[in-house]
Structure 1
Amino acid sequence: MIWPVRLVAALLLIIGLIVAAGGAHLIWLGGSPYYLPGGSAVALSGYWLWRGDRRSGWLYALFLAVTIVWALCEVGLDGWQLTARIVGPALFALAFLLSFIRRRVGKGAIAAGLVGFASFLLILGCALQSPMEIAALSGRTNTPIAIPGDPGQWPAWGRDTAGTRFSPLTQITPANVRKLQLAWTFDTGHDPMSAPVPSPLQSTPLMVDGKLLLCTQTNIVFALDPETGKQLWRFDPRVDPKGGSAVRTCRGVAYHDGGAAAPAPCPRRVITATYCAQLIALDSATGRPCPGFGQRGFVDLNQGMGRTAPGLYYVSSAPVIIGDVIVLGGWVADNVSTDEPSGVVRGYDVITGALRWAWDMGNPNNMHGPPPGDTYTRSTPNSWAPMSADAKLGLVFVPTGNATPDHFGTYRSAQSEKYSSSVVALDVATGAVRWSFQTAHHDLWDYDVASQPTLIDLPASGGTIPALVQPTKRGELFLLDRRSGKPLAEVRELPAPQAGKVPEERLSPTQPFSVGMPSLAGRRISERDMWGITPIDQLWCRIHFRKLRYDGPNTPPGLTESLLYPSLGGGMNWGGVSYDPERRLLMVNSIYYPTLMQLVPRAAARGGKGPRASHNATDFAAPLPMAGTPYAARLRGFTSPLGTLCLAPPYGRMTAIDMTTRKIAWQRPVGTVRDSGPLGLEVGLPVRMGMPGFGGTLVTRSGLIFFGGVKERAFRAFATDTGKELWSVRMPASGNANPMTYVGPRTGRQFVVIAATGHVTSQSFPLGRTFHAYALPQEAK
């Protein structure tokens, strides 16, 4: 049969010519010289195969052998990197062993096939040892400490106002976690695809007052029986979905127990805030609005905000309650204009709903609200992430974003420049600033501080130091004294890239780097880090990379396309970190996802589809308006034509950091390609690659980490001491929410609960609508 031979020959010839042409372009751009001769050899081998020349197999065997040597020299024993370079050519080498080809070209075909087999043995050997991991050392000690409060409850979003996400429960252990089974599910009844713009369910329930308390994207609040998941009550504020946002969500509610002196009704109340900017107090017993709070249970957060529009300002994170004060900020849409609602942070009386204070960084005189006819300072940095609080110090710790618009900073005020992308300590009684620490200067990259500050106590001679760990999208972990904001681990100002900015912009000459803590930003990207399913799309990514403007971290946005890495999604995002105070281990979920950024002159931005509000659609390549500036902004993922990331994996890691030594205790990629693949197709193979995701971790005294926040429909448990995966379960959607755990008040069973969410930004579909509770069988407790 001659036609199968000529089919293989034609494929080799065409692929070889494409690779050779791309290789010539890559050389012209200053890139690797491999692809031009490599592609030429493949094309010539195909030509010879077409003609029946016996040199074809020998040439292909030589090409593949050289390819193996080149790949090992470039990326070492990294299995995923070798796969992109070798597997495709090796498959063609095995094709030479087909009888109709072997008869045509003789012993050269056998040589090509043998080199092909050797290639797969190399890949298999590299898969058994992953350079993406740092293995744990043995001999870790565990020092038990007293944890205040009822250990069986989960009374705040991060379990405590310190945001540790540490539970002292021990019923589920590394020895029995594999026996976990689904105890119940709860369907919220909300179809996330029915909204004007789909948005994910990301709520972390509270377990307090004998109830599970949770919310949905549409701000419906539910109380559930913690043993069965049965609905006890439901409150629907009937929010208006106009101005829908792909990041519209309700990540949780807050709870306050007024004790014996609390007024009736509502001695115990649930506090929530909505997409329509309403602050609501509900009776924990009935779910009805508390009549003495604001206007029949409602406080309008639009008061003093001035001009706004649906979806431009809302509260996405659970408020924090310290004493009798509710503190909350709000999410303000990115990149719409230079005239957007204020990023004001406000404190309200938990009983009456009266405004206690306001921190308007642009006008301190607005402490008790702006005068009639005036507004809080517009377009100041907002605080949409979860906050933390220290009742002993009387401080609430506020993570801030940057002033709008995110990617052009010429018009920002001095106060906005001072407090943007920072963690700010406010006096809970007055709202006055005690201290602030900035994590990114003159932020042009949307490096909002998205993670809840986590409060920990560090051992010191004669006692402990009250510390604060601030994760950032930049992949930097800043360790501060929470009394003063002074760094406890060295922070160094290092030179920042200056080339490529637009003429109207200015840049900070330096950026802060937390050199005293491990960086989770990933290494500086080079051409060799480009990746693809095949050598062709990897070559495409190499060419594109060479055309980009990239000078390392904090490469400024400009009129030519630049590479943003870490991305505006992280590093670390709203899932935050968890801390085991007994093992002194900090658990961090980090993301490795490159983004392309370009400023578009205003006239050009008006063409085509036209600009649209940030996050108001899933087409993130459309120009974002930044009205009031000379430019719009275009952002998109750095992906190949096949839809896969151009950066080599892993795309998500879990890292344990020893806070005694401030070194990495262990690190591993988390997540498989089972629910991902080229062109949006699912590979279906549970091959561990490390996938991106936004959810956070839960850590327990017994030595377990629970985590679901990756682009995969799975929920997992790991050993705290080693990072070894001990248990996993499939869910109907990925778990891009923070899990929680509690003890059932009637049976004494420990439950672990997570929302099956999905996520729009990471393209993790489907979007979910259910909560899942897992527990040991009754006899296995």
Structure 2
Amino acid sequence: MPTTNNKWTWLLWLLSALMLVIGLTLGIGGAYLVTLGGSVYFLLMGLALIVSAVLIFKGKPSGAWLFALAFVLSIIWAVWDAGFTFWPLFSRLFTFGVLAFLVALAYPLLKARAGLVARKGPSLSLAAVLAVALIAAFGNTFIPTPIISADNDQVPVKPVEKGAEQKNWESWGNTTAGDRFAALDQINKTNVSKLQVAWTAHTGDIPQSNGSGAEDQNTPLQVGDKLFVCTAYSKVIALNVDDGKKLWSYDSNSTAPNWQRCRGLGYFDNSSNNSAAPQAPAAQPAAIPAAEPATPAAASEAAAPATNAPQAPAATGGTVSGTCERRLFLPTIDARLIAINADTGKPCADFGDNGVVDLKVGMGEVKPGYYQQTSTPLVAGNVVVVGGRVADNFSTGEPPGVVRAFDVHTGALVWAWDPGNPNITKLPPEGETYTRGTPNVWSAMSYDPKLGLIYMPTGNATPDFFGGTRTELDDKYSSSVVAVDVATGKVRWTFQTTHHDLWDFDLPSQPLLYDLPDGKGGSTPVLVQTSKQGMIFMLNRETGQPVAKVENREVPQGNVPGERYSKTQPFSVGMPNIGNQTLKESDMWGATPMDQLLCRIEFKGMRHQGVYTPPGLDRSLQFPGSLGGMNWGSVSVDPNNAIMFVNDMRLGLANYMVPRAQVPTGASGIEMGMVPMDGTPYGAVRERFLSPLGIPCQKPPFGTMSAVNLKTGKIVWQVPVGTVKDTGPLGIKMRMPMEVGMPTLGASLSTQSGLLFFAGTQDFYLRAFDTATGKEIWKSRLPVGSQSGPMTYVSPKTGKQYIIISAGGARQSAERGDYVIAYALPDEK
């Protein structure tokens, strides 16, 4: 063995230096954490490491024994602090486990330096045990572990009856019910592993990752032998369903300074059953009786009397021509609605002004980027209905949140719903505009043709984080599901999910319409609405009354001068809450104990009072943040087993209000940073709650997929989705498929064969899950990430089923593309 003067002494110095650096970091940071009222562990562990480092530097074996004691106590503390959950324990112990391995290897050298007999056997044996434990722990990071495991892995799969197969995918959510379910089973659990790329097409329209917000979030439509794709810059391409060859393309020549995207197109076929839906009346009807309020969180409104507002200008052309029987509706980023011949790609001359309706009419001033279309138009019978995205948080009095219905044939305005003025039912009187700054509908809407109701998920009156200037009607309709009559636009009922919303808790997703079996041979028509705050609301879609229990609970009150606060908020307790727990210090996380410590310091330096922590002049933590929770991807459903699939993201936001005098000129944060909120006494700052390494500060998972039983309101299974293969600390790709569970953004697809397809993770994969268990049973590497919704169809020519995904880039990746990729089973030989 080495002696005191041997050449290996410098290894002890290196080990002591490493321990000293870690110890000083933990000691200094731990002392500061204690002053904030946080855990004393980091201070004590830091001191133990510092003393151990000094003793090891001096060649004292007692340094190793001191560290060993500290390590054993750390294991006990970690279990007490975090329980037996893998990722929190990994964060607390893996770094110290590596140090323990090095100390065990170095112990014979320490003994030799002290002039003692140094036996290698026990130390090397201990080092081997630690090495095995470290390798096992590291290997476990690649193994997906359910958060909630399914009790039954034999959920019945009902075969598709002959003649009941899905023929087309004609709406963004497959149907106007938003179910994202395909009655197809050619691709199933037994053969999905054989899926392979059948063809790849390119749109030629790559969304540029330059801070402007351009993103590919499209779910294509399929009708017959054509697949229709829209791009972030409002272009449309028709592809052959069997080989992806371009049939035609249409360029709307749209421009916008930011937020460029097209989530989907609308489709109308004049020869289909759409024409049997309720017609727009020639004259305004009498008032519709009001429904009874469902709860204090719900309200209903009788239809307002008709006004003599001016009618829309006469549209160019007349009735539907034989040359535009099938038409697509393109929502553009510069606020136009364009009808395109689905067969030729030419604008329909009989719609609006040679195919175009200008959505800025009646809106007043619309600055570039302040009002645009990002979500799919809703085709409901013989009307096409649009809301619009408004540039939140720049000022009060931004463009109106009006929702309008246009005749699918002529483009004439049929009705308008102005949340700020129920007397305006078409165009506003000359010299006036729709009410500015009102709650808007930027996400996708749903439609029940049997009830003749359109369901609109609303956002906030601008700006998001200060509501002192909002009107009574603003407060009534913001962050609500609003049901309106398809023929008149008159409100039947409303249900509010957040009172006086100060958190940007817009309703972001398309409502799911589902007929819930009542156990007596009948069913209840329900609407299921997911929310950014991680709650799921189930309502009777005929009346607006909750089917799953909702409680109004008292919430924390703020103290910002000029603001008012709702004393209560609606909590959905009859359905699962997903990823919205009130965080505590022990929920903080980091790749190492050092950045976990920094996250704890960050957390203890903020005010956090749960999901409805009110914004203030101090720094507060909002969890979930305004990105969600659940976002625009919406849900999919297995109607045969009453199972709904919900993906979420778990990202907190640090926010605070800034007095007007301190708001810098030119503040323009779109998602993060300083927003001006002109017209109010304050600006506001939003920052992602991340460690210095750029990792979310709360423990994983950061995104999940959950299966919810709609009959019982219970989670069937929940799994983390997404790895750090294509992202990582400081934005550096880790290139390792660690199953952390990443923030999800996109839509899923459920099929009757018991498969769930999803690509909206931060890594570059399309995955298939078993709907019974949540187990991943297939995945395919994509050239770039995807935020788009998978869809499926069977070719009318070949009878082959395809799975389609549009891949333009993941949210947190700079890599972009223009891919449309089709998967199919190989041909039988």
TM-score range for the pair, normalised by the shorter chain length: over 0.9
Q: Map 1:464-543; keep pairs closer than 5 Å.
A: 464-499=523-558, 501-543=559-601
Output the TM-score relative to the length of structure 2: 0.89
Q: 1:138 to 1:178 in 2, by over 3 A?
A: closer
Kept in 2: contact 1:152–1:743 (CA 8 A): yes
Q: 1:317 to 1:101 in 2, by over 3 A?
A: farther
**Post-superposition offset of 1:133:** 3.3
For 1:3, the aligned partner's letter is: W
The yes-or-no answer on 1:156 pairing with 2:171 is: yes
Match of 1:764 among 807, 813, 816: 813
TM-superposition CA deviations, 1:118-175 (whole Å, max 9, x none): 8537836976794733334245345678899861311111000000000000100000
TM-superposition CA deviations, 1:18-37 (whole Å, max 9, x none): 21121111112111111111
Match of 1:336 among 391, 394, 419: 394
1:199 maps to 214
Q: Map 1:570-649; keep pairs closer than 5 Å.
A: 570-606=628-664, 610-612=666-668, 614-615=670-671, 620-621=672-673, 623-649=674-700
Equivalent residues, number: 767
Aligned mates of 1:746, 1:138 — CA distance in 2: 36
Q: 1:153 to 1:435 in 2, by over 3 A?
A: same
**Post-superposition offset of 1:372:** 1.7
The yes-or-no answer on 1:183 pairing with 2:198 is: yes
TM-superposition CA deviations, 1:621-644 (whole Å, max 9, x none): 2x1010011111111111111111
Output the TM-score relative to the length of structure 1: 0.95
Kept in 2: contact 1:167–1:700 (CA 8 A): yes
1:696 maps to 747
2:608 maps to 550
For 1:664, the aligned partner's letter is: I
2:826 maps to 777
Aligned mates of 1:765, 1:754 — CA distance in 2: 19
Match of 2:263 among 236, 251, 268: 251
Kept in 2: contact 1:136–1:723 (CA 8 A): no
**Post-superposition offset of 1:101:** 5.6
**Post-superposition offset of 1:757:** 2.8
Match of 1:362 among 384, 408, 420: 420
Aligned mates of 1:705, 1:101 — CA distance in 2: 57
Q: Map 1:209-288; keep pairs closer than 5 Å.
A: 209-241=224-256, 243-245=257-259, 248-259=260-271, 262-288=320-346
Helix, strand or coil for the counterpart of 1:511? strand
TM-superposition CA deviations, 1:619-671 (whole Å, max 9, x none): x22x1010011111111111111111111100111111111222111111111
For 2:191, the aligned partner's letter is: N
Q: 1:100 to 1:606 in 2, by over 3 A?
A: same
Aligned-residue CA RMSD (Å): 2.1
1:302 maps to 360
Q: Map 1:96-115; keep pairs closer than 5 Å.
A: 96=103, 97-98=105-106, 103-104=112-113, 113=127
Q: 1:199 to 1:101 in 2, by over 3 A?
A: farther
Alignment identity in percent? 46
Match of 1:414 among 457, 472, 484: 472
2:444 maps to 386
Greater C-alpha Rg: 2
For 1:16, the aligned partner's letter is: G
Q: Map 1:106-125; keep pairs closer than 5 Å.
A: 113=127, 116-117=130-131, 120=134, 123=137
The yes-or-no answer on 1:438 pairing with 2:445 is: no
2:434 maps to 376
Aligned mates of 1:479, 1:48 — CA distance in 2: 63
2:788 maps to 737
TM-superposition CA deviations, 1:278-326 (whole Å, max 9, x none): 1110111111011111111101000001011111101111111111000
TM-superposition CA deviations, 1:724-771 (whole Å, max 9, x none): 1110011122221111000112111100011113244xx233133211
For 1:274, the aligned partner's letter is: T
Moved more, 541-550 or 23-32: 23-32
Aligned mates of 2:349, 2:370 — CA distance in 1: 28
**Post-superposition offset of 1:3:** 2.6
Kept in 1: contact 2:224–2:796 (CA 8 A): no
The yes-or-no answer on 1:666 pairing with 2:725 is: no
Kept in 2: contact 1:592–1:692 (CA 8 A): yes
Aligned mates of 1:526, 1:448 — CA distance in 2: 26
Q: 1:56 to 1:147 in 2, by over 3 A?
A: farther
TM-superposition CA deviations, 1:657-693 (whole Å, max 9, x none): 1112221111111111211211111111112111102
Aligned mates of 1:468, 1:394 — CA distance in 2: 14
1:76 maps to 83
Aligned mates of 1:695, 1:566 — CA distance in 2: 17
Kept in 1: contact 2:704–2:744 (CA 8 A): no
Aligned mates of 2:325, 2:384 — CA distance in 1: 16
Q: 1:221 to 1:383 in 2, by over 3 A?
A: same
Kept in 2: contact 1:215–1:253 (CA 8 A): yes
Q: Structure 1 stretches of 5 or more lacking a match?
A: none
2:375 maps to 317
1:57 maps to 64
The yes-or-no answer on 1:449 pairing with 2:507 is: yes
Kept in 2: contact 1:334–1:613 (CA 8 A): no
Kept in 1: contact 2:636–2:750 (CA 8 A): yes
Helix, strand or coil for the counterpart of 1:192? coil
Aligned mates of 1:376, 1:164 — CA distance in 2: 33
Q: 1:729 to 1:39 in 2, by over 3 A?
A: same
Helix, strand or coil for the counterpart of 1:163? coil
The yes-or-no answer on 1:687 pairing with 2:738 is: yes
Aligned mates of 2:38, 2:163 — CA distance in 1: 59
Kept in 2: contact 1:58–1:109 (CA 8 A): no
2:309 maps to none
Q: Map 1:123-138; keep pairs closer than 5 Å.
A: 123=137, 130=145, 132-138=147-153
Aligned mates of 1:5, 1:447 — CA distance in 2: 55
Moved more, 478-487 or 68-77: 68-77
Aligned mates of 1:753, 1:155 — CA distance in 2: 14
Helix, strand or coil for the counterpart of 1:3? helix
Kept in 2: contact 1:79–1:130 (CA 8 A): no
Aligned mates of 2:653, 2:780 — CA distance in 1: 31
Q: 1:682 to 1:337 in 2, by over 3 A?
A: same
1:17 maps to 24
Q: 1:251 to 1:95 in 2, by over 3 A?
A: same
**Post-superposition offset of 1:200:** 1.0
TM-superposition CA deviations, 1:315-371 (whole Å, max 9, x none): 111111111000110000110100100000000000000000000011122211111
Helix, strand or coil for the counterpart of 2:228? strand
Q: 1:71 to 1:111 in 2, by over 3 A?
A: farther
Match of 1:34 among 41, 66, 72: 41
TM-superposition CA deviations, 1:17-74 (whole Å, max 9, x none): 2211211111121111111111101010100111111111111111111111111111
Q: 1:468 to 1:5 in 2, by over 3 A?
A: same
Aligned mates of 2:140, 2:353 — CA distance in 1: 65
